[in-house]
Amino acid sequence: MKLEKAPVLNLFRLEIDPKNHENYTQKVEEYMLNADHALFMQSGHEDQKEYKNYLIESYQDDAAYQQHEDTSQVQQFEHNLKDIVTSQVKVELYPEFISTKPEKLAVTHDNDYVVYLTEIGVQLGKSDEFANAVMKEMKTAVEKEDGILAMIAGTIMNQPNEWFSLEVYRTEEAYEKHLKTKHFKKYLEATKYSVESKGLHLLKPDCIVDQGEIFYRP
């Protein structure tokens, strides 16, 4: 599905008491696997203690997002999280690039997939330079590498120099292979003077839902 208009893209930072993580995983699987209006969803935890969690969601447009929000399923999910989540921060993102493989995904917590969430601070005046390089690299990676399932990039609303990227790999080996590709090395060279800060989060995915063959570029 090639999107002509900017889709909705949200990131949630969730803190969960580790003793409730299994319960959270069950609730998030039930929620995501039945989210008919979503294009893409991913929930994963960062640390072995399962305290820090990140949830990413994307919808075709505001209408699809509102339809999703109005369902009883969302209301029930939010109710279920009240006693599980100790802290929640929502970050609205402007989508800069989205590309996923043709295959649809409905991945539960028992999997070998690897997800990397990266926070990138871009120097003032270097946004266009960085955007061109990262979009070119992501598009090439999804097209040429079998081990990559999704590449998503967005900027925080009204903060165009603050980027997030989400990368989904079949295995850790696929990620290591990606780092050795010519297009990734070219991206590093092209952005070495535009990136001011970078924070890399390795996530163990608890659930991934992807409608398949999604593509968006402004």
Domain-located, residue 1: no
Domain-located, residue 50: yes
On the CB side of 117, CA atoms within 13 Å amount to 18
CA distance 139 to 144: 9
Domain-located, residue 192: yes
Output the pLDDT for position 178. 98
Domain-located, residue 16: yes
Domain-located, residue 154: yes
Domain-located, residue 170: yes
- Helices of type H across 34-164: 62-69, 72-81, 127-144
* Chain segment 9-52, per-residue pLDDT in tens: 999 999 998 899 999 999 999 999 999 899 999 999 997 778 99
Domain-located, residue 13: yes
| 10-residue stretch averages of pLDDT, the chain, 218 residues long | 96 93 94 94 88 96 95 91 93 98 92 96 95 97 97 97 98 97 97 96 96 96
Number of domains present in the structure of the chain:
1
Structural domain for 24, as ranges? 8-216
- Residue pointed to by tokens 């903060």: 159
Domain-located, residue 71: yes
Which CATH number goes with the domain that contains 125?
3.30.70.100
Output the pLDDT for position 10. 98
pTM above 0.85, yes or no: yes
